[in-house]
């Protein structure tokens, strides 16, 4: 688990997350309350095998989950490295990023006061209307495909 000093260092140094401390505080205030609601809804959606309150306790606060996700998005840091940095297991980081990413995606991004962009089409329209340019990360990601000659290969490509 990250201590307060480490959390403050991550938050204060804009090079780590790409966001100012004020923006991170806004994100925590805006999407922080949504995370426990989602978590409880997911638990309520299936039949419980354990009593309420049983099982392992969360070691990462929501702020730490958000920071780990932001660092992962900004630098492409592996989950293993983040796990070492935050003092938890890799699976905890994987779960944290998987839980926070949809919340960030639903929130969208704010370009200027009152303008919120949620889709790529909205971003392109905004850039065209304002005369600004944008950059898209076109990093290649390896995808496992069926071996050549398999009958179902053409349906995957």
Whether 153 is in a domain gets the answer no
pTM of the full structure: 0.67
Asked if 30 and 100 touch (Cβ cutoff 8 Å), the reply is no
Helix axis angle, 90-107 to 79-86, nearest 10°: 100
| pLDDT above 90 (res 140) | no
Whether 155 is in a domain gets the answer no
Please tell me what DSSP assigns to residue 133: -
More confident residue, 38 or 156: 38
How is 16-30 classified by DSSP, letter by letter?
HHSS-HHHHHHHHHH
**What mean pLDDT value characterizes the chain?**
80
Domain with 126 in it = 4-130
Place of tokens 């490509």: 157
Give the residue-averaged pLDDT of 63-83.
Answer: 90
Please name the residues in contact with 27: beta carbons below 8 A apart, sequence gap of 6 or more: 19, 66, 104, 107
- Structural element, H or E, at residue 102: helix 90-107
Please tell me what DSSP assigns to residue 55: S
Number of domains in the chain: 1
| pLDDT above 90 (res 143) | no
């Amino acid at each position: 688990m990250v201590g307060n000093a480490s959390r403050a260092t991550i938050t204060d140094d804009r090079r780590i997350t790409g966001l100012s401390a004020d923006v991170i505080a806004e994100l925590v205030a805006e999407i922080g309350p949504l995370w426990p609601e989602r978590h409880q809804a997911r638990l309520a959606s299936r039949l419980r095998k354990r009593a309420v309150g049983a099982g392992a306790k969360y070691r990462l606060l929501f702020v730490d989950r958000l920071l780990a996700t932001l660092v992962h998005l900004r630098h492409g840091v592996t989950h293993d490295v983040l796990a070492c940095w935050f003092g938890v297991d890799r699976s905890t980081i994987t779960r944290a990023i998987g839980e926070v990413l949809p919340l960030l995606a639903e929130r969208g991004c704010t370009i200027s006061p009152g303008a919120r962009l949620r889709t790529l089409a909205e971003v392109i329209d905004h850039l065209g209307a304002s005369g600004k340019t944008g950059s898209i990360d076109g990093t290649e990601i390896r995808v496992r495909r069926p071996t050549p000659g398999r009958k179902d290969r053409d349906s995957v490509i």
